Amino acid sequence: MSTYRVYYKGYYHEHSESNHTDVDARNELSALRKFFKQRRSELREAELLSGADLPALAGLDVNTEYRWWEGDWLHVYRGMEKVGVAPCPVCEGKGEVSDAVAEELRQRLLSVQ
């Protein structure tokens, strides 16, 4: 199983913010399905009935732009990438961080010593 980072952007009037969610899955399509399944479970039933417009899980495509509502926020799926995970060098492997973060932390630890 791999970790995929799913990117999406939220818009509220003139305000916008970029977000991402890490999902463990066998492949990109499974990650996208898990992501939208998670979004669906986090929304209240009233939001789903009032037009959250989440895409159907069966017809998903990782290269398609999806839009959905969460309250007053419009969200847009922006894509995903596979994220490598490594043992955390700071806590001596008790936690996990992305490969890029692990390398940055190793460099910082070496510069301090």
Looking at residue 49, its pLDDT comes to 47
66 occurs within a structural domain: yes
> pLDDT per residue over 70-81, tens digit each?
888 889 999 999
> pLDDT per residue over 1-43, tens digit each?
788 999 999 999 999 999 999 898 999 999 999 998 888 877 7
71 occurs within a structural domain: yes
Distance CA(51)–CA(75), nearest Å, equals 13
How many domains would you assign to the chain? 1
* Residue 47 pLDDT > 70: no
60 occurs within a structural domain: yes
Which residues neighbour 84 within 8 Å (Cβ) at sequence distance 6 or greater?
Answer: 3, 98, 99, 100
102 occurs within a structural domain: no
